[in-house]
Chain A
Amino acid sequence: MKPISKSVPKIDHCAKTRGLAEYVCDYDATGMLYGRILRSKHAKADVLSINLPAMPEGYDFIDHRRIPGLNRVHIVQDDTPVFAERTVEYIGDPIGIIVGPEEREVDRLLACIEVEYDILTPEFDARKSPVAFFEYGYEKGDIAIAFAHADRIYEESFETGRQEQMYLETNGMIAEYAQGKMLVHGTMQCPYYVHTAVAEATGLLPEDVIIAQDVTGGGFGGKEDYPSVLACQAAVAAYVTGKPVRVVLSRREDVEFTSKRHPAFCDIKAAVKDGRVTAMQIEAVYDAGAYTTMTPVVLQRGVIAGGGVYSIENLKVKGEARKTNTVPSGAFRGFGGPQMFFAVEMMMSHIAKDLGEDPLDFKLAHTAKLGDATSTSGMHHFNVPLPAMMDEVAQACDYRRKKEAYADQQGRLRKGIAMSAVYHGAGFTGIGERDIIKAVVRLRKDKDGYAEILVANTDIGQGLSTAFTKIVAQELGLPFDRVIIKLPDTGRVPNSGPTVASRSVMVVGELLRRAAARLKDEWLDGEEQVIEERYVHPDFMITFDIDKFQGDAYPTFSWAATAVEVEVDTFTGDIRILGAWGSYDIGTPIDENIAVGQMEGGLVQSLGYGMMESIAAVNGRIRNNSFSDYLIPTAVDFPAVDVSLHVEEYPEGPYGAKGAGELPLVGGAPATIEAIENAIGVKLSKTPFLPEDVVKALY
């Protein structure tokens, strides 16, 4: 490990253990109005009338007619309304907001509002939906020839579920409008996303809108797009009433009405010649829900992952995101990758088994190598360390011995083990960093020699403020306490881009390192200095063509090998995780504890995605909206996961760092499902797989 990797106390540690960190729900609400959202009770309907109860003094109901700006929440596109105008598109679609000084009275009034609907016919099945929001695809090689010459052709369909981020702190915002200035603060990943949205919805000039991040209790993607929606609603209410407005979602509201991981369906047709896969044709459908939110970018990432970590000469991939009348799908750690990798990993394992080869050996034989073309005909510019990592994991979990020992089981309890290989492309897809994000960072040194980091990236628990501080302190040769980082607000910090796509350390961290190096060179004692750095696109990249999906979609990749061992009770269907092992290449860890913590937490979330976490939507209604019926892993569900770091330095990242946060979520589900499959001896094709699914599969 490099010196920078040596762990330090996290800079947010003390405030958090003492209960002193101030989350949005912790602000004193004296003098504020409480806001609650009136939501559609139908999946698709026209709102004919809204009948309000007698409103006491100081209480108000605000709907689309009183929005001062544009009734749109700008996310990637502008289709999400702040409040529905006529047609509501999912159960929970916001119709208006009721505000007032007493929370209980606001709740009572909300319950008394009568909405008259003309019910329309909703669509719940993405596969049948006639509305494709987005369609992307690409080809390389010639699949027709490959299929014509194939020894064997395999076809299969895979399905992945709707996963909820379930951060411990629910979404919440406080909006204050005074003297022509709008301040909105709350829990969020991307202050500048919220800034653009609030300026548009309020009609205020961008310079009159300030968005500030409060201490954020987890995000995992769930606070990438949704905070823009809630901030617009709170800001409109604050604008109209002239009073500060606080909206903090209840747990059930948050689970039911905020964006989740896209459910997906993936059909794969594969050609095999001489025991090796020569072609894949992949068609995926992602369920976007009612509005587009982050879907175009999620789908791009999913489509690019076609073919997984393997060099497949002939590839044709098509992905569609279709509209359904369900809660919008959005960003969740992995961001479209987990769905596609699940399908490809299961497909590879199934083909291997049919050919009589161990899936691990089969996968190793197909793994991409340095210099190989990527799925989009870009290039693997850097070493692909997967073979070594897969070997490390195989040793750690005793893969080969267990595989043999579990080959022929007859008893009630049966064990299985499996390994997956995945990547996560670090940073924005394609030329997004260069043409859309255009990150700017600043370092400000004051007269006393303190350096302040000015960036819009947020510490949402992942340790980013500590990582940034380490990078700047190391480069400047200053002790940590001479480097300052505060919660970002758009009035003070430049737009260094959103906290998404595992980009913050690799892209923004490198800009900070360069700024610190320059500051060190230009350092003048006793003077204030400001150093600015702007994103520079790596010149080695093959320019990505977003229309054709050709070129380098990512500058580099983070790699993961994940093994899972299970024991299945064939009487009850109960699935027990006996162990989970992961080797992760995120380049140089900026802090070993933080990096390992990210990998452990992400791996456990991915085990949840594999065998536990399932949002059930029946006719557009989410049936499990609480911790008691949407189960996330507790401390007793799994044994300690076994995580190791495999360092393949990336020369363009700070000290060799690559993307980290999302990687561990990608590989757990396919390893879990294949382990269950190996235990019960039934071919499986969906995640999550729950005890009831085991019983259905066996009997």
Chain B
Amino acid sequence: MPAGINFNLNGNEMLYTGSPEARLLDVLRDEYRMTGTKCGCREGECGACSVIIDGKLANSCLVAMGSIDGSGVTTIEGYSKTARFAALDKAYESVSAVQCGFCIPGMILASECILAATPHPTEDEIRTGISGNLCRCTGYNAIVKAIGIAAEEGDGLW
């Protein structure tokens, strides 16, 4: 048996020695006390627990710890220290895109993945990019608008 699971979390090298079948979501929230990653369903449907694993958006409730050995994981706690976050944050703020906020950490990380793949996305590309992240409050208009604003205002960041 190897000594544990090595992965990078928000730039820090981590050694996880617990059960490889534990959910990444639970390890983040309960063991590392990083509660910015939210739990909306534990079934991979709502996207509130979205994190970025090796550049791809993933529902952390469906990720077993055993599967992330050698991977890089970014949560909102790490991402919120970046210049890209600052651009998204400002854009979300400018259109008041945050209501109850429970979907928002996941939504911000989904926004990052859209812009990382397509720095100047169309409205359809934005909508598709957040289609795995449910928001019950906004009807999505403001969030879609915010991502478009971030793409313009943050030109060059992505």
Contacts and interface: CB of A to CB of B under 8 A. Distances in A.
Interface of A: 7, 9-10, 12-23, 25-26, 28-29, 165-170, 215-218, 220, 250-251, 460-463, 591, 593-594, 596-597, 600-605, 626-628, 632-636, 638, 640-641, 643
25 contacts: A16-B101, A17-B76, A17-B80, A18-B80, A18-B105, A19-B35, A166-B136, A167-B136, A168-B103, A168-B134, A168-B136, A251-B41, A251-B42, A461-B99, A591-B96, A600-B138, A600-B141, A604-B140, A626-B45, A628-B43, A628-B45, A634-B131, A634-B134, A635-B143, A643-B141
A218 B102 contact: yes
Nearest to A20: B36
Given A19-B37, A634-B134, A636-B128, A597 B96 contact: yes
Interface string B115-146: 00000000100111011111111111111100
A593 B142 contact: yes
B76 A13 contact: no
B80 to A, nearest CB: 4
Contacts of A591: 96
Contacts of B144: 635, 640
Contacts of B123: 640
A227 to B, nearest CB: 15
A168 B46 contact: yes
B134 A250 contact: no
Contact of A168 (B29, B42, B96, B102): B102
A627 B99 contact: no
B96 to A, nearest CB: 4
B157 to A, nearest CB: 16
Nearest to B41: A251
B84 interface: no
A635 B127 contact: yes
B135 A168 contact: yes
Which bucket holds chain B's interface residue count? Answer: 35 or more
B13 interface: no
A10 B141 contact: no
B151 interface: no
Interface in B49-105: 75-77, 80, 85, 88-89, 92-93, 95-105
A217 B96 contact: no
A19 B96 contact: no
A640 B141 contact: yes
Contacts of A216: 100
**A-side binding surface: helix, strand, loop or mixed?**
loop
Contacts of B143: 635
Contact of A601 (B43, B95, B99, B101): B99
B149 interface: no
Nearest to B48: A168
A276 to B, nearest CB: 36
B102 A19 contact: no
**A-B pairs with the 10 shortest C-beta distances?**
A19-B36, A461-B100, A16-B101, A604-B139, A217-B102, A627-B45, A593-B96, A461-B99, A19-B76, A26-B35
B107 to A, nearest CB: 9
Nearest to B110: A635
Nearest to B96: A593
A17 B88 CA distance: 9
Given A251-B42, A634-B131, A18 B100 contact: no
A603 B144 CA distance: 16
B46 A627 contact: yes
Given A169-B38, A251-B43, A628-B43, A21 B140 contact: no
B138 A218 contact: no
Given A600-B138, A632-B134, A19 B92 contact: no
Nearest to B37: A19
Contacts of B130: 635
Contacts of A596: 142
A10 B126 CA distance: 23
B93 A13 contact: yes
Contacts of B35: 19, 22, 25-26
Nearest to A606: B139
B108 A17 contact: yes
Contact of B100 (A7, A168, A605): A168
